[in-house]
Each structure stands twice: as C-alpha cells, then as structure tokens.
Structure 1
Amino acid sequence: MTTSLVQKYNVPGPRYTSYPTVPYWEEEHFSSEKWKQTLIQSFKESNTTEGISLYIHLPFCESLCTFCGCHKRITKRHEVEDPYITAVLKEWELYCELFPEKPIIKEIHLGGGTPTFFSSHNLKRLINGITSKATIAPEHEFSFEGHPNNTTREHLQTLYDLGFRRVSYGVQDYSETVQKAIHRMQPFHNVAKVTLWAKEIGYTSISHDLVFGLPFQGIENIVDTIEKTKSLSPDRLAFYSYAHVPWIKGNGQRGFKDEDVPKDEEKRKLYEIGKQLLAKKGYHEIGMDHFAKKNDSMYEAFREGKLHRNFMGYTASKTQLMIGLGASSISDSWYSFAQNEKNIEDYYARLEQNEIPVYRGHILSTEDLIIRQHILNLMCQFTTSWDEKHLYFPELPEVLSRLEEMEHDGLLILQHNAITVTEKGKPFVRNICMAFDLRLKRKAPQTQLFSMTV
C-alpha cells in the first residue's frame, strides 16, 4: 500500500455497525411505541424462520483500560451484580410480554464491560432466567467476552454447560510498555491458561482480540504478539484499529499523549505486517478487521455469503431481530434501532416503572433500508449489486461518480450493475461505504465525530 493512498483516504469515517450511524439518527421522529411496533412486526416475520438474537450488556469492570470506548462502570464492589441481573431479567420479561408467541433464541452474546466480572452463579441465574421464557434454536450460537485476568475455569465450565461454545478474549498487545500505557496489565501466561482451559472443556470457537495503533506500539510488538497468539492457535481473530477518539470518550483515553499514538503510514505498516503474518499462520481475512481459520464458522459464513454485521460486529449467522438488554444496549428490528438508558440508575428507574428502558432511536426510511443493505453487502462480502430493482435508488449515479476516483486508484471495480472491492481496496472499505452514506453527504459533520478510516 502506497503512502499516498493512506494520506489520501485516511479521513474520519464511521465503522458501519449500523446505517444510519448513531449521530444521524432522527431521534425527534422516534418513540417507544414506534419501536414496539417494528419489534412486533420483525418478530412475526422472523421468529419461526430465523429466531432472534440477544445482546446482553454487562457494564462493570474492576479497572479502567484507557484504550476502551465501551460504556462501563468501574467498581470493585461485587454486590452490584445481583440487582443488575434482576433488572436485566425484568427487562426481558417486559419484552416477552409483547411477543405474540414464545421467542426462539438463535444467538446470545454477553458483552461489556467485563462479563466475567460477574460470578459463575450469577451468570447461570441470568442465562437460566432468559432461556426459561424461550425456546433455544437447535443451531444456536452462544458467546461471551472473557477477561483473561479474571476468567476462571468455573466461568468457562458453567457457561459451556449452559450451551456456550464461543469465547473471545481481549488480548490487545503483549508488550509490557503498551500494556502500561493502556492500563491493561495482562501477562501471556494468563491468556494461555484461559485459552487452554476453553479447549479442554470443549469450546469450538476461541477468539483473540488484537489491536494495532496503540500508544508506543511498534512493528516488533505486533510481530511478537502474533507469534505468541499463533502458539495458542485460536480459531478466529479480530485485528482492530485503535480508535483514538478522546473528544468523545473523555478522560478514559487520555492516559497517554497524542504523539505517543502511531499515525497514518506508521500505523498502516502495523496493520500490513500483521495481516501478512496472519496469512502465513493460516488465518483468512473475513470482512473488515477479522480473520479466521478454515475450520471456523466465521470462515464458512463468509465463503457461503452468509456473514452478517450488526452492533455486535460480525456474526456467522443472521437474525432480523436483535434485542439489546442492559444499560446502553442497542436493539435492531431491521426497521428501527433503539438504545437503552446509558446511566445504570436511569435504567433501573425506567424498569421500576415497568417501562422498556429505551431512551432514543431511529425509524429507518425506505431509502435507509436500501442504503443499509448496500453497506452491509460491502462490509460482509466486499461486493454489492443493484441488479434487483428494489436495491436501486435515485442517487446511485452520484454514488458511482464518487467512486470513480477509487476505481482509478485500484480500490474497486465498477461494473454495469455491481461493485467489487479489490484486494488493494479492502483496507479502505469504510471509505467506499462512505460514498453510499447519503445522510453523511447531505449533512457533513462540523466537528470530528468518527475515528480515522485507515
């Protein structure tokens, strides 16, 4: 990749876990009642054919990692666990009262925060409480995020016994200098221990999350981290670009100076070298930032054109309806998005009033749905088409005009009725999606809202 391309295309841009992106939600046209209507519509259309997905946000962490952009609450007081589980089960009960029939759960993902902040006993209470009101789909996928420093064998065994087969561990980088900078001291032997436990217990998909572009991170750190990762042989990997957005996340990302963070070509080299190493180690690029071995379900989904992307990131299976439970969680009925109260006390207060604790959202227009499908296609399959009439939209000629320079730069191939991203263009897929983002084009942000694309 040439330096000129990085300099040319390294601009602020969305990561497109949704379209429209959150800053462009029309909150003034949203209401809880409208959300419930689209929820019920989507449930009726998809429950018996696909099932539904649940994302459960468990926000507590014992310490603050200064690279993190998640909604979290820092505390060492574990008495917060019980009331939070009770609240999440109350929220689920309110949803179940809306459903016209028993929900079929295809996916559960426990995210955070730190899900393994919670005891095995409380996690079991949570999952049993959820599944007691539902049917579990035969081909279900239950997954959770485990912190290598506090995930116990009991955590892994308990969740395995409850049907979980996938676990992802946040690794980031093995350099002690980098770990100190991001306040995430995590020795290799801790990651090795929990990875081997998961294999022994029988987890079929183990993932490690790695991050490039962290403060003080150099090529030697990337090489060392990937070599150590290979020795543990996880089934899939996320290789994320560090999003340095201190203007959004406040003091949480100011544990180091701006000049300590690799930028532009320096940062891109970290990615390119990491990507080359991962390919040599048998990991295949899947969508954006993700890599998997051929035996992993993510690789199969990508190969078969079934890869999906939502607020949880990439998933190997698609459901039209995803319900987010817990403070700050975002739900997706395909026709609308809805976000829960971010503040835990506000979340509790709404539930005490027997209200689903949604505080903002967006109802998708017909245009939104078309653009969303194109962006989803590009992010998941690196190609999209408007061969079918319902995927054509009036502004398409303008979009294609915006893409001509990217075609000239070798990032994509424009055909009569389709676009295909080239190998050279894959690192710039966010930029390609931005050409389709009509809301972004109509109302460019006056201040920086997004992380850099490269």
Structure 2
Amino acid sequence: MCTNLIHKYNIPGPRYTSYPTVPYWDINTFSLKKWTSSIQRSFVESNEEEGISLYIHLPFCESMCTFCGCNKRITKRHDVEEPYINTVLKEWQLYLNIFETKPKIKELHLGGGTPTFFSPDNLQYLINGIFSGVEQAKDCELSFEGHPNNTTREHLQALYDVGFRRVSFGVQDYNETVQRAIHRIQPFENVKYVTETAREIGFTSVGHDIIFGLPFQTQEAVVHTILKTKELLPDRLAFYSYAHVPWQKGNGQRGFNESDLPTGEQKRKQYEVGKKLLSEVGYVEIGMDHFALKNDSLYQSMENQTLHRNFMGYTASKTHAMIGLGVSAISDSWYGFAQNVKGVEEYQHLVREGIIPVYRGHILTIEDQIIRKHILNLMCHFYTKWEDDHMYFKELPEVLQNLKELEADQLLTINDSHISVTEKGRPFVRNICMAFDLRLQRKIPETMLFSMTV
C-alpha cells in the first residue's frame, strides 16, 4: 500500500457502529418517553416479520486487559453474579411490559466484560429466564464471547444445551512480549482446547479475534499468530486495528509508552501481510476487519447482500429492533438509540425502581436515517446508491465533491447514482464514510474523540 496514502488518510475517525456516532447524539432532545415510543414502534414493525435482537452485557472480569475498551468491572467476587442476572431479567420484564404482543427472538448475543466469568448454571438461568414466555425464531442465532483462559467444557456444554451454536474467542496475539504488555497471558494451548472442545460439543461457528497494532507487536508476530490460527482454522475472524484511545479508557491503557506502539505505516503493513496470509488460507474479507470461511453464515450473508452492522459488529441477519440489556448496553430501534447507565449500582437501583435504565440516546432525523443507510451500505457492501435522497439530503452534491479527492486516489469510483469502493480503497472505508458524516463536518471536535483510521 502506498505510504503517502497512509500518511494522508491516517486521521482520527469513527468506526461507524452507529450513525450518528455516540459523541454526536442529541441528548438535549432525547427522553425516556421518546425512547419508549421509538422502541414500541420498531417492535411492531420488526417482531412479526423479522423478530428482534437482544444484546446482554455481562461486565465482570477477574483482571484488566489493557487493550480493552469495553465497560467492565474488575472483581474476583463471584457473589455478584446472581444479583446482576436477576436485575437483567427484571430489565427485560420492563420491556416486555410495554410490548403488546409476545416477542420473537431472532438473535441473542452475550458480550462483556467476560461472559464466562459467570458460572455455567448462572448462564443457563439467565438464558432460560430471557426465553421464558417469549417465542424463539426457528433461525434464531445465539452467540457469546468466551475468554480462552476461563471458558470450561462445562460453560460450552451448558450454553450449547440452551441453544448456543456460535462462539468467539479473544486471541489478540500469541507473542509473549505483546501478551505481557496488554496483561493477557494466554497460551496457544488454551485457545486450542476451547476451540476443539466447542466443535466437539457441536458449535457450528467458532470465531477468533486477532488485533494488529498492539504495543511491541511486530510484523513477524502478526505472521506467527496467523500461522498458529491456521492450525485451528476458526470459521470466522475479526482482524482489526488496536484502538489506542487512552483519553476514553483511563489508566487501563497506560501499561506501556506511546513509543512502544507501531507507527501507522507499520500497522498498515501488519494488516496487508495478515490479509494476504488469511486469503491464502481460504478466508474471504467481509466488510471491514472481518474474514470468514465460505461455509460460515457471515460469508453467505455477504453473498446474499444481507450483511448487517450494529453495536455487536457484523451480523448475518438484521432486525429493526435491537434491545440492549445490562450496564452500558446500547439499544437500537432503527429510529433511535439509547444507552443504559454505566455503573452497576445505579443500574440495579433504577431497575429496582421499575425504570428502564437509559441515560442518554438519540432520535434520528430523516437526514440521519438517509446518511445512516449510505454508511451502512458502504461498511457492509462497499457500495451505495441514491435515488430521491436529494429531497432530504441537500448536501449530497457537497458530499460527492468531497469524495473527488478519494476518487483521484483510486479509493472509489463515482457514477451518476452510486459509488463503489475499490479494492485499494477498502482499508480506507472509514475515511469514505466520513465524507457522508454531516454531523462530524458541522462540528469538528476540539479534542480527539476517535482512534486513528489506519
């Protein structure tokens, strides 16, 4: 990849798991009443035909990993499990109380934190409680994030028994120096054990998360990690850039110096070498930073043009309504977003008082909805088109003008009614989306909000 392009386009930018992005949510016009109305509308439109999605945030971890940007609570006390699960189930009941018909669950994902911090029995108790009195779609996909160091056969069997068929394990990197820097000592043998055990039990999709751009990480370390990954051949991979945003994550990312991080050019070389190796193994690039074997549903959804992206990352199916349960969880009604409070105690207090525990959000304008459509198309399909958008999207000519320079750099092609991202432009898709991001352009942040795009 051209070094000049890296220097030119390596700027802070959103990852676009939502539009508008969280820093640009209009919280002044948001209210719990508006959110309730928005999710009720979405539920009516989504439930019968598509079903709805659930994301459940389980925030507890026994130790801090310094690469992680998730909302977590570090503790070794496992007596927190049952009270937290009971609160999640009560929050779910608060949503059930505002729906007029029985929900049909199409997708459920357990994220963290460390979901496998919880005991197998407690995880079963949680899932059985969620599905009590609701309908489960025939093609319902249940997935969870597992920590290779503490995911046991009992965890995998218990979750399989209640319907889970997909799991992703956080690998990051197999180099010991890198692992020490990010406080995640994790031998290959541990990953091998949980991967093979999951398949033995019957999981049909096993994924690994790999990160490039970590402190002390070299190109040779990335190659080593991918060659070790080849031995296990997970069905899908997240191969993404480490987001160094210590201003958001506090002291959790200060276990190393800035000089220990690879440069933007070194990171891009790590990505290019890794991508080439993954292609040789048989992985196909899906959207941004994701790869899958051709037998995986993520690849099939890309082929069928049904690939979707939300706060859970890339998914093989889409529902208008996605409800987030647990501390800091984000919900998406398609017409608005809402995020739960971030403190465990405050979360439990609000739910105990019978209040849906959201503290901020955003209701999308018509313009927001149009821009969101284009950004989703670009992130999922590297392509978007417009027809009557100019009626509500008067800045479209200005956006296209802003894209001219990227077109000159051969990162995309612009036609009368659509744009297509080139193969050369795929690593810069975030930059391309930024040309559509009118809220970002209207209010340039005074301080850095986002990680670098390269």
**Code of the aligned partner of 1:432:** I
- Aligned pairs for 1:200-279 (under 5 A) are 200-279=200-279
Q: Does 1:355 align with 2:352?
A: no
Contact in 2 for aligned 1:96/1:133 (Cα 8 Å)? no
- Aligned pairs for 1:19-98 (under 5 A) are 19-98=19-98
CA spacing shift, 1:342–1:414, aligned 2, 3 Å: same
1:428 aligned residue: 428
2:444 aligned residue: 444
Contact in 2 for aligned 1:205/1:235 (Cα 8 Å)? yes
Unaligned runs of 5+ in 2: none
2:332 aligned residue: 332
Contact in 2 for aligned 1:25/1:361 (Cα 8 Å)? yes
Count of residue pairs brought into register by the alignment: 454
- Aligned pairs for 1:170-181 (under 5 A) are 170-181=170-181
- Give the distance between the partners of 1:315 and 1:391, measured in 2 at CA: 31
TM-superposed deviation, 1:267? 1.0
CA spacing shift, 1:328–1:303, aligned 2, 3 Å: same
- Give the distance between the partners of 1:351 and 1:429, measured in 2 at CA: 40
Contact in 1 for aligned 2:367/2:392 (Cα 8 Å)? no
Contact in 2 for aligned 1:387/1:417 (Cα 8 Å)? yes
2:195 aligned residue: 195
- Give the distance between the partners of 1:264 and 1:67, measured in 2 at CA: 17
- Give the distance between the partners of 2:421 and 2:40, measured in 1 at CA: 36
Question: Following superposition, which runs of at least 4 residues in structure 1 exceed 3 angstroms of deviation?
Answer: 388-392
TM-superposed deviation, 1:387? 2.8
1:453 aligned residue: 453
- Give the distance between the partners of 2:429 and 2:21, measured in 1 at CA: 16
- Give the distance between the partners of 1:266 and 1:293, measured in 2 at CA: 27
1:368 aligned residue: 368
Question: Aligned with 2:445: secondary structure?
Answer: coil
**Code of the aligned partner of 2:170:** G
Contact in 1 for aligned 2:301/2:317 (Cα 8 Å)? yes
**Code of the aligned partner of 2:306:** K
Contact in 1 for aligned 2:236/2:293 (Cα 8 Å)? yes
- Give the distance between the partners of 2:390 and 2:318, measured in 1 at CA: 20
- Aligned pairs for 1:108-147 (under 5 A) are 108-147=108-147
Contact in 2 for aligned 1:209/1:239 (Cα 8 Å)? yes
- Give the distance between the partners of 1:264 and 1:84, measured in 2 at CA: 41
- Give the distance between the partners of 1:409 and 1:193, measured in 2 at CA: 46
Question: Aligned with 2:428: secondary structure?
Answer: helix
Contact in 1 for aligned 2:324/2:331 (Cα 8 Å)? yes
- Give the distance between the partners of 1:358 and 1:7, measured in 2 at CA: 40
Contact in 1 for aligned 2:13/2:431 (Cα 8 Å)? yes
1:169 aligned residue: 169
Contact in 1 for aligned 2:366/2:392 (Cα 8 Å)? no
- Give the distance between the partners of 1:337 and 1:452, measured in 2 at CA: 24
Contact in 1 for aligned 2:208/2:238 (Cα 8 Å)? yes
Question: Aligned with 1:301: secondary structure?
Answer: helix
2:299 aligned residue: 299
Contact in 2 for aligned 1:385/1:391 (Cα 8 Å)? no
TM-superposed deviation, 1:388? 4.9
**1:366-396 deviations in Å (ceiling 9; x for gaps):** 0000000000000000000003558862100
Unaligned runs of 5+ in 1: none
**Code of the aligned partner of 1:307:** L
- Give the distance between the partners of 1:20 and 1:399, measured in 2 at CA: 16
TM-superposed deviation, 1:248? 1.1
Question: TM-score under structure 1 normalisation?
Answer: 0.99
Contact in 1 for aligned 2:390/2:396 (Cα 8 Å)? no
Contact in 1 for aligned 2:370/2:389 (Cα 8 Å)? no
- Give the distance between the partners of 1:60 and 1:389, measured in 2 at CA: 44
Q: Does 1:384 align with 2:384?
A: yes
Question: TM-score under structure 2 normalisation?
Answer: 0.99
- Give the distance between the partners of 2:38 and 2:295, measured in 1 at CA: 37
Contact in 1 for aligned 2:236/2:291 (Cα 8 Å)? yes
**1:60-104 deviations in Å (ceiling 9; x for gaps):** 000000010000000000000010000000000110011110000
1:285 aligned residue: 285
Question: Aligned with 1:413: secondary structure?
Answer: strand
**1:134-191 deviations in Å (ceiling 9; x for gaps):** 1000011100000000000111111111111000000000000000000000000000
